[in-house]
């Protein structure tokens, strides 16, 4: 079946004992894993496919262990012989993140605050009960929170966010700061299961209970990292008053099962606020600036606000001052950065079909502009399940985002186009036309038009006009 991995198809047919099963591609996040909802009548399961067998083995090991501990994780039904696919209990589509209103987690939202308290109580169970007897030898990519793992995160931040931002910094001072931070982090006792990505998108709300997914990157480590991951998630926008109450709840729950020095824990927490925030910025930089995924680009300003809050309220030791000075400079640059503005300049972005309509006419009188041929990109139109969709539909977006050549193409387009826009703004021009064409003007050209529009909107305060000629969308 087109678009469905063979392992997933065979598992589904064998599980339901029928070829009449229906497949629905589910949205991806930041990973290369693909997910499908499979149904036969009212019965549904979720299939996961991932070519990284070592990562899958870590997931299966952790999942089976947590199920024995009666922790709230999905049931595992089937695993393919090559360990590249599995069938899991369907936990629905509602996550804790979906319950958060636009204004974030505020003190007056008692129901949501109670959900967070339940989730933090469950976190303590994962960290302590889940840790006991867990075989970390299959943890992937690292079995524990060690120097190498931390340096990976710091270099991710350095190369995919700090360097891309254009901030001038002293390389030697940055590395010295990294070394000090690593030393401080490794001085903290690491005797828990560290979930690694414990945030609201990985908490599913199913039948009025919280259930937990995406723990395959877990390892042995300190408990601090996970509580920071949840309470300092940038897009959750947790009110500082609420965050303090939730931290107090977490510490109360943790103190019931292990002895802790609360003052020392809070001091140590400052290091983990810093490393987690830098790790998140690195991920946003890679997924947003490099892979051109709009969801991550939208999250950057909130993550910068998080970093500003961490730096302003932190009680960090003096030996971290060189690092924090560089980070404060980054925050100042990001906050003061404003899109270039013009009331007169308009960018017209169009998608078209080479076969059905041809190149759109330029009604500005300038004789045309950029034309980018998308026919060299992977084509969703070859798969029946995408036939009725366009490049604005989530399933098509995820299909194209899975292919690195698409993000490379768009990054190159942005560099060329932004250079011209800057030049035209300097010279007082009023219009630029940008066209994306593909075979039918339905998938690839529509997707590229929309993605470039989203990127340019972040960089420029100018007028935009978007038209999809073959779709009749203006």
Q: What is the pLDDT of residues 177-214, one digit of tens each?
A: 999 999 999 999 999 999 999 999 999 999 999 999 99
Who's near 123: CB < 8 A, 6+ residues apart? 195, 198, 226, 227, 230, 250
Q: Phi first, then psi: what are they for 101, rounded to 5°?
A: -70, 175
**Whole-number Cα distances in Å, 236 to 109, 122, 251:** 13, 19, 21
pLDDT per residue as tens digits for the range 306-334: 899 889 876 788 889 999 999 999 999 88
Instruction: Flag residues of the chain having pLDDT under 50.
Output: none
Sign of CA pseudo-dihedral 374, 376, 380, 381: positive
Q: For the chain, give the number of residues.
A: 474
**Whole-number Cα distances in Å, 128 to 58, 62, 122, 225, 257:** 18, 14, 10, 14, 8
What is residue 292's predicted lDDT score, i.e. its pLDDT? 61
What is residue 341's predicted lDDT score, i.e. its pLDDT? 83
CB–CB of 247/227 below 8 Å? yes
What is residue 474's predicted lDDT score, i.e. its pLDDT? 56
**Whole-number Cα distances in Å, 143 to 84, 132, 273, 312:** 21, 15, 22, 33
What is residue 26's predicted lDDT score, i.e. its pLDDT? 85
My answer on whether omega of the bond before 141 falls inside 30° of 0, hence cis, is: yes
φ/ψ bin of 118: left (φ > 0), alpha (ψ from -120 to 50), beta (otherwise)? alpha
pLDDT per residue as tens digits for the range 395-420: 899 889 878 789 889 989 999 999 99
What is residue 293's predicted lDDT score, i.e. its pLDDT? 65
Question: Strands (DSSP E) along 155-263, which ranges?
Answer: 192-194, 203-206, 209-212, 219-221
**Domains of the chain (ranges, CATH numbers):** 6-89 (3.30.200.20), 97-336 (3.90.1200.10), 340-471 (no CATH)
**Given the structure tokens 């009025």, which residue do they identify?**
208
């Amino acid at each position: 079946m087109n678009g469905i991995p063979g392992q997933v198809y065979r598992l589904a047919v064998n599980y339901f004992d029928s070829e009449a099963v229906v497949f629905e591609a589910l949205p991806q996040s930041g990973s290369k894993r693909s997910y499908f909802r499979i149904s036969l009548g009212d019965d549904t399961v979720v299939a996961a496919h991932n070519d990284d067998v070592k990562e899958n083995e870590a997931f299966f090991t952790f999942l089976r262990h947590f199920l024995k501990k009666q922790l709230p994780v999905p049931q595992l039904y089937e695993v393919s012989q090559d360990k590249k696919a599995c069938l899991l209990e369907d936990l629905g589509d509602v996550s804790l993140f979906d319950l958060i209103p636009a204004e974030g987690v505020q003190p007056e939202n008692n129901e949501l605050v109670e959900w967070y308290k339940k989730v933090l109580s469950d976190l303590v169970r994962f960290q302590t009960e889940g840790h006991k007897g867990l075989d970390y030898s299959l943890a992937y990519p690292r079995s524990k929170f060690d120097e190498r793992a931390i340096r990976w995160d710091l270099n991710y931040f350095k190369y995919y966010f700090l360097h891309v931002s254009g901030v001038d910094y002293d390389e030697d001072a940055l590395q010295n700061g990294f070394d000090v931070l690593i030393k401080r982090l490794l001085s903290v006792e690491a005797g828990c299961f560290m979930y690694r990505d414990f945030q609201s998108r990985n908490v599913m709300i199913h039948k009025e209970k919280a259930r937990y997914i995406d723990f395959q990157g877990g390892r042995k480590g300190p408990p601090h990292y996970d509580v920071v991951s949840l309470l300092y998630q940038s897009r959750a926008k947790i009110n500082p008053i609420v965050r303090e109450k939730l931290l107090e709840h977490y510490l109360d729950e943790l103190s019931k099962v292990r002895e802790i020095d609360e003052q020392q824990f809070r001091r140590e927490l400052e290091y983990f606020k810093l490393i987690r925030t830098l790790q998140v910025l690195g991920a946003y930089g890679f997924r947003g600036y490099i892979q051109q995924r709009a969801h991550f680009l939208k999250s950057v300003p909130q993550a910068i606000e998080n970093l500003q809050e961490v730096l302003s309220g932190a009680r960090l030791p003096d030996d971290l001052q060189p690092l924090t000075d560089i980070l404060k400079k980054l925050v100042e640059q990001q906050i003061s950065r404003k899109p270039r503005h013009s009331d007169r300049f308009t960018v017209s972005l169009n998608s078209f079909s080479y076969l059905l309509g041809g190149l759109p006419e330029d009604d500005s009188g300038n004789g045309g502009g950029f034309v980018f041929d998308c026919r060299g990109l992977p084509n969703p139109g070859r798969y029946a399940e995408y036939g009725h969709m366009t490049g604005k539909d989530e399933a098509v977006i995820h299909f194209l985002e899975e292919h690195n050549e698409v993000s490379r193409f768009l990054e190159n387009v942005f560099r060329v186009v932004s250079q011209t826009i800057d030049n035209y703004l300097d010279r007082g021009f009023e219009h630029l036309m940008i066209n994306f064409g593909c075979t039918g003007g339905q998938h690839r050209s529509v997707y590229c038009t929309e993605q470039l529009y989203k990127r340019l909107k972040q960089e420029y305060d100018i007028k935009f006009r978007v038209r999809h000629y073959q779709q009749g969308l203006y």
